[in-house]
């Protein structure tokens, strides 16, 4: 458990969670990391901690550089326990003389509620202090993705300790973007933004504006791998995602009982393809919600389907729509579809949920009794063609 030096006197001392497969309902098929950073200066500073079960990794990596009791400051960029989970233990067992630096008022309020009365130093946007030959500057980034969130910048080293911004749920024993497959890193960064930050596009734009004034050589993220060779790429991607820029693509998502709704989904996908529109096709029997949301992030069209069971839509579709509604995907051109045996209530329910999520309904619900005929499927393709 050795620290990794990322610049002279600055070390990654976090933990890698190879086994993580779920984060708040977000499927993390490539694991994750909880990143913490140690700065050796006149005032030794730890930037963030790790999730509590990984505290031994954190302490071991710190101890490979200095005794933990020498730490003077612990900067807590975010209250959530995957970042702050070791604060109480560190103060009481490892770093008795350390001061915890947190945002005011929300960071101070949140940490106190979780860990009680510890030695806190509250900071706000524009505040800074010297730790020796280096300075730490603070910028509040509220709702990226909690009210307390902030980032820390070291101008002498041109490092932005970015907390949840620009991160990925990605486990890797290589710490930088250029040491990993860039397509994989960007894919996981998009998935992270879609499932953690999509709701907060306006706040992300405000944060990007504030950070645009900084000279950055390394983005030291809270999860995943750090950015040094593709900083402009990830910032450009965040600008696109936060502005809600949509591509000419469609997401078709459904569950099916006896394959009739699947046949409708196939016809819809074929029709979009004939129009030259890329299709992301998701069967909820096998597709994680978080993968579907990742495609919805940049797609213009959304079609959601289910047969009717006990006067309701199938439970996976209901669960997906609940998950979707939390992101308020405004601007998507959406419609509902499905088959039914006698009642057919599910299709109207999906239509109502899409409206409640903020989507623009562009077709009346497509309701097909029993098994769709070739004429039914041809009519569906014609409707899509004429959108």
Query: Among this protein's residues, is 193 annotated catalytic?
Result: no
Query: Among this protein's residues, is 164 annotated catalytic?
Result: yes
Sequence-distant (6+) residues with CB within 8 A of 248 are: 276, 277, 278, 300
The rounded distance, in Å, linking the Cα atoms of 255 and 252 is 10
250 DSSP β-pair partners: 279, 301
Given the residues 83, 223, 280, 282, select the one marked as catalytic: 223
Given the residues 73, 78, 193, 238, select the one marked as catalytic: 78
DSSP label at residue 372: P
Nearest to 243 by CA among 192, 289, 304, 193: 193
The token pair that represents 316 in the structure block: 């996976």
> 53 with 46: CB under 8 angstroms?
no
Whether residue 145 has pLDDT greater than 90? no
Query: What's the whole-model pTM score?
Result: 0.95
The rounded distance, in Å, linking the Cα atoms of 35 and 32 is 10
Residue 387 — pLDDT band, cuts 50, 70, 90? confident
Whether residue 25 has pLDDT greater than 90? no
Given the residues 48, 57, 82, 157, select the one marked as catalytic: 82
User: For the residues of 67-83, what is the DSSP string, one character each?
Assistant: -GGG--EEE-S--SHHH
Nearest to 365 by CA among 353, 375, 357, 378: 353
Given the residues 24, 117, 209, 374, select the one marked as catalytic: 24
Query: Among this protein's residues, is 24 annotated catalytic?
Result: yes
Given the residues 41, 57, 145, 148, select the one marked as catalytic: 145
pLDDT in tens, 155-191: 999 999 999 999 999 999 999 999 999 999 999 999 9
Residue 60 — pLDDT band, cuts 50, 70, 90? very high
DSSP label at residue 16: E
Query: Among this protein's residues, is 82 annotated catalytic?
Result: yes
Given the residues 48, 148, 157, 164, select the one marked as catalytic: 164
> 81 with 52: CB under 8 angstroms?
yes
Given the residues 48, 57, 80, 295, select the one marked as catalytic: 80
For 52, phi then psi, to 5°, come to -50, -40
The rounded distance, in Å, linking the Cα atoms of 150 and 141 is 5
Whether residue 100 has pLDDT greater than 90? yes
pLDDT in tens, 253-268: 999 999 999 999 999 9
Query: Among this protein's residues, is 183 annotated catalytic?
Result: no
Alpha-helix residue ranges (DSSP H) falling in 275-329: 289-296, 315-325
Query: Among this protein's residues, is 145 annotated catalytic?
Result: yes
Residues 307-328 have a mean pLDDT of 94
The pairing of beta strand 308-309 with beta strand 128-130: unpaired
The pairing of beta strand 333-340 with beta strand 299-305: parallel
The rounded distance, in Å, linking the Cα atoms of 73 and 49 is 12
């Amino acid at each position: 458990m050795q620290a990794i030096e990322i610049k002279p006197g600055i070390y990654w001392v976090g933990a890698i969670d190879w086994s993580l497969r779920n984060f708040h309902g977000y499927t993390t098929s490539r694991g994750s990391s909880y990143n913490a950073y140690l700065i050796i200066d006149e005032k030794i500073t730890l930037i963030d901690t790790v999730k509590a079960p990984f505290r031994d990794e954190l302490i071991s990596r710190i101890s490979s550089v200095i005794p933990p009791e020498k730490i003077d400051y612990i900067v807590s960029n975010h209250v959530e326990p995957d970042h702050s989970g070791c604060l109480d233990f560190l103060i009481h067992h490892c770093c008795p003389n350390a001061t915890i630096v947190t945002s005011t008022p929300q960071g101070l309020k949140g940490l106190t509620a979780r860990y009680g009365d510890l030695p806190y130093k509250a900071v706000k946007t524009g505040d800074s202090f010297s730790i020796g030959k280096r300075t730490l500057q603070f910028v509040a980034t509220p709702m990226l993705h909690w009210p307390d969130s902030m980032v820390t910048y070291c101008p002498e080293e041109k490092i932005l300790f970015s907390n949840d911004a620009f991160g990925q749920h990605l486990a890797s024993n290589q710490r930088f973007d250029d040491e990993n497959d860039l397509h994989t890193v960007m894919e996981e960064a998009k998935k992270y933004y879609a499932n953690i930050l999509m709701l907060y596009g306006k706040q992300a734009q405000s944060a990007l504006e504030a950070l645009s004034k900084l000279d950055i050589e390394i983005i030291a993220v809270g999860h995943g791998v750090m950015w040094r060779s593709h900083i402009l790429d990830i910032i450009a991607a965040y600008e696109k995602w936060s502005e809600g820029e949509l591509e000419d693509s469609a997401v078709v998502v459904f569950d099916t009982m006896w394959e009739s709704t699947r046949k409708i989904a196939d016809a819809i996908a074929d029709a979009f393809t004939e129009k030259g529109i890329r299709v992301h096709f998701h069967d909820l029997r096998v597709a994680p919600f978080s993968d579907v949301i990742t495609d919805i992030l940049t797609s213009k069209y959304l079609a959601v389907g289910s047969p009717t069971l006990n006067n309701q839509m199938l439970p996976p579709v209901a669960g997906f729509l609940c998950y979707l509604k939390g992101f308020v995907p405004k601007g998507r051109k959406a419609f509902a579809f499905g088959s039914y045996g006698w009642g057919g209530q599910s299709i109207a329910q999906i239509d109502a949920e899409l409206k409640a999520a903020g989507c623009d309904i562009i077709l009346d619900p497509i309701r097909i009794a029993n098994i769709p005929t070739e004429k039914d499927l041809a009519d569906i393709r014609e409707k899509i063609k004429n959108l």
